[in-house]
Structure 1
């Protein structure tokens, strides 16, 4: 997420926007209940009127504002999820095997890669980003576009801006969402997403949409909800803008040398691969490491039981999409298996 949330512990539907899913990868149902304990300083209706007034000052038309806020009310489920979403303690191996790199996700990823290979090649030609990492992000964020979230984005953002822990952040995202509606990229009733306002197949927050969504299919709209070309092109554009190095690997699993201590590992230093080879690191199968690859650093999964990786620059780029280390490693592993 770019200037994105550290709001979740990297579960699926957790990409360039704050999202809410359960361990199965199924989006939480957007339940509503108007009566709940609020800590907001003003009534919701008064808050919305203030937002509408400011939106019109920012050049958003009255028609767009009225359509966006039709039927909007505070959403209790959004508040519950925001208060619950502190990072949990799922072990790395369970997160990796049951959720992110499950056999089903790998199989579906291979199928989606094959079905979209021509589009992916065109996207790669324009943005010089690996099609495999594009498909991996698409898979972990929204199950290849099949699970983009069921909350009204304006209602979710308005609820969080009114009552949430990061009111200023979500207020700015709310105005960015209204601008998207004003520009005609999506209708208000179709602007659906996660509980925290992450939208479409890439799960972009509205401010990220403004900067990074693209009209790859050339129809005049940046439709990351239903246009597969726009969605995959936007993911690639994000990586391109955030420094993806074409042709370089993201990283690799390694076997550390005898006596290696997980607790004492230096995960900050970046060294040439040949230095790790000299220290006795081997590849995951026990073979020698290449000696001419890009610089790497030791990467240890959070709550893992001993797996060790060497991560390159492109792993850091993946983690700009969503920062937890386990998310970055899982996307890298999935990308290795789908193409």
Structure 2
């Protein structure tokens, strides 16, 4: 599928008021791209006939919990002790399939099971929306984002390959099955233990497919995605990102009891203070960012890492998390990004979502202003600093 063709189509649709009033006409506009992807007109028409908008999806994208809720609140729910126990039970029940998936991918079984739990609560919560209605609606509501149109056509390709329409149901975002794969992810990563069409609505193929996703996304064997640590006395906060060798030389080490007994000998990591320098500290390894390939949210990758630790029976989140007295609103978080952009320190989206790029920009601001503990944390003090200058 040609991404440039989708971009051109999306731009044309966004610029045309006539199309904006005609959902059926909008969806019909994907026929040529579907044909180019090998989808027959018969399959195309079987889907679009009578397809209607889903009004419940308006504004849904803005309310995703992994992007909007405080990190600790999100983690407490997503990686709860109850979910960890359910994960251990699921791992035991599916031990043969899980061991095979872990060996094939070079990914720890607890990490595979953790994502299974994060995505569908171990198959109990897959969603039951028609993915074609969902993806067509999202493409119509967000014509500036070609992804939904691409996924709509990828779903048609799945039908063309023989997957039954009744299987293609899922979340409000169009994700399907136990791993919550988008149609294009199914085409690229789904694996079958039996050699037939991958059945991501059952445990063996779901575990194999999750592991394959991580493997194909460059998962590094033996590397914990999240290493709980503590900033040593005298640390100068000159950088938040460097090689593990440099972190070791600066006096950093894992807290006892985690998956990583010592800091890795190779690779780089980012130092992360989820509630500022007064709270706990973590080193985010390259595998943390592999998890973000599954879901782009830092909170998701963090919670998945914590859940894997708990499923494995290892302690996690052993340091105190002080509560912030005056948490920032969504608009104030966006104001930080605007202020950083005005100072030439940030060139990403203004969305109030703080990932590594925004945090490194905050760190640069703090260093330039002479802040002693430049922790990269989006605090009210950072907002005040931007507004004062």
Aligned length: 295
Among 59, 79, 92, the alignment partner of 1:80 is 59
TM-score normalised per structure 1: 0.77
Q: What does the per-residue CA deviation read over 1:187-212, in whole Å, with 9 as the maximum and x for residues that have no partner?
A: 21321112221221111121222211
For residues 160-205 of structure 1, give each alpha carbon's deviation from its aligned partner in whole angstroms, at most 9, with x where no partner exists. 22232544221111111100111013x2132111222122111112
Q: Relative contact order (alpha carbons < 8 A, sep ≥ 6): 1 or 2 greater? A: 1
The residue number in structure 1 matching 2:97 is 119
Alpha-carbon RMSD? 2.9
Cα shift at 1:100: 1.7
Match status 1:299 vs 2:271? yes
In the alignment, what sits opposite 2:303?
A: 330
Aligned to 1:223: 199
Deviation at 1:89, TM superposition (A): 4.3
| 1:270-295 Cα distance to aligned partner (Å, 9 max, x none) | 232xx434423343349997266443
User: Would you say the 8 A contact 2:272–2:284 is kept in 1?
Assistant: no
Corresponding residue for residue 205 of structure 1: 182
CA distance in 2, matches of 1:87, 1:135: 19
* 1:132–1:49 distance in 2 versus 1, CA, 3 Å: same
Q: Within 2, Cα distance between the matches of 1:100 and 1:320?
A: 18
CA distance in structure 1 between the aligned counterparts of 2:88 and 2:65, rounded to whole angstroms: 32
Residues 229, 96 of structure 1: alpha-carbon distance in 2 compared, 3 angstrom cutoff: same
Q: Is the 8 A contact 1:48 1:158 kept in 2?
A: yes
> Cα offset for 1:327?
1.8
Match of 1:247 in 2: 222
Distance 2:213 2:21 in 1: 37
**Alignment pair present for 1:311 and 2:272:** no
After TM superposition, the score normalised by the length of structure 2 is: 0.68
Moved >6 Å (runs of 4+): 286-289
Q: Give 1 or 2: higher helix fraction.
A: 2
Whole-angstrom distance in 2 between the partners of 1:291 and 1:163: 46
Measured after TM superposition, the shift of residue 42 of structure 1 is 4.3
* Gap runs ≥5 in structure 1: 4-37
In 2, the alpha carbon distance for the partners of 1:121 and 1:85 equals 32
Over residues 27-63 of structure 1, what are the superposed CA-to-partner deviations in whole Å (9 max), with x where a residue is unaligned?
xxxxxxxxxxx99524112223333455345432233
Q: Distance in 1 between matches of 2:117 and 2:63?
A: 24
Q: Structure 1 150/291 Cα, relative in aligned 2: closer, same or farther at 3 Å?
A: closer
- Structure 2, unmatched stretches of 5+, are 4-16, 313-389
